Amino acid sequence: MANTLGIIKPDGMRRKLAGRIIDKVERAGLIIRGTKVLWLDRERAEKFYAVHQGKPFYKSLVEFMTSGPIMVLVLGGHGAIERWRELMGHTDPAKAKYNTIRREFGTSIEKNVVHGSDSETTAKVEVAFFFREDEILPKE
Q: Which does 129 bind (CB under 5 to 8 A by kind): ligand UDP, Mg ion, none?
A: none
CB closer to ligand UDP, 33 vs 111: 111
Which range touches Mg ion (CB under 5 A), out of 28-36, 75-83, 98-106, 112-120? 112-120
Cβ distance 89 to 46 under 8 Å? no
> Of these, 112, 123, 126, 127, which contacts ligand UDP (CB under 6 A)?
112
Count CB atoms within 10 A of the CB of residue 64: 18
Q: Does 110 bind ligand UDP (CB under 6 A)?
A: yes
78 contact partners, CB below 8 Å, separation of at least 6: 1
**Which of the residues 76 through 95 are near ligand UDP (CB under 6 A)?**
91
Q: In the beta sheet, which residues pair with residue 92?
A: none
Q: What is the rounded distance in angstroms from the CA atom of residue 117 to the CA atom of residue 109?
A: 17
The question of whether 52 is a catalytic residue gets the answer: no
